[in-house]
Amino acid sequence: MKTAICPGSFDPVTMGHLDIIRRAARMFDHVVVAIMVNPEKKPSFTLEERISLLCRAAADIPNIEVVGFDGLLADYARQREAAAIVKGLRAVSDFEYEFQMALTNKKLNPELETMFLATSAENMFLSSSMVKQVAGFGGDISPFVPACVLKTIQDRLCGRA
């Protein structure tokens, strides 16, 4: 069974994230969506909330597992016997950072490959940061996040929770 890991902070989950996860799920037998704890970021949602949001948003994808994760991705991939990391790229600006991370992970875990999926054209501009900014100003984020988690995200980001 070929396993891949889709890592990210998913704060909050967006339609772009779901697009990459769905596509990875078509290529691999099992996809671990690893919601990472980044000590350099102050998330809007707790790790538990992000896991819950993603589980709800991806409930229709049968071969994924959503987990929280803290530590080196290369080590976690080894523990999970993952063959690959799958990352989405929106623009050339994403590539430099992601390429550096891919080389680092490969050095730490020589058996691990990194696959880059080009983001669908309709999601090229989309990021969790953009969703937070639009929501913070009271804008409509419904085209950017899954409908099943929209209210929860709006309540938090619009200061209603």
Residue 160: active-site member: no
Among the listed residues 9, 50, 87, 128, the single catalytic one is 128
Among the listed residues 9, 17, 44, 50, the single catalytic one is 17
Among the listed residues 23, 56, 90, 156, the single catalytic one is 90
Residue 2: active-site member: no
Residue 17: active-site member: yes
Element containing residue 33 per DSSP (H, E)? strand 30-36
Residue 30: active-site member: no
Q: How far is Cα 20 from Cα 64, in angstroms, rounded to an integer?
A: 12
- E strands along 37-137, which residues? 64-69, 84-89, 113-118
Radius of gyration in angstroms for the set of CA atoms belonging to the chain, rounded to a whole number:
15
| Pairing mode, strands 64-69 and 3-8 | unpaired
Q: In what order do the strands lie in the sheet with 64-69?
A: 64-69, 30-36, 3-8, 84-89, 113-118
Element containing residue 55 per DSSP (H, E)? helix 47-57
Q: Do residues 22 and 47 make contact, with C-beta atoms less than 8 angstroms apart?
A: no
Active site residues: 17, 41, 90, 128
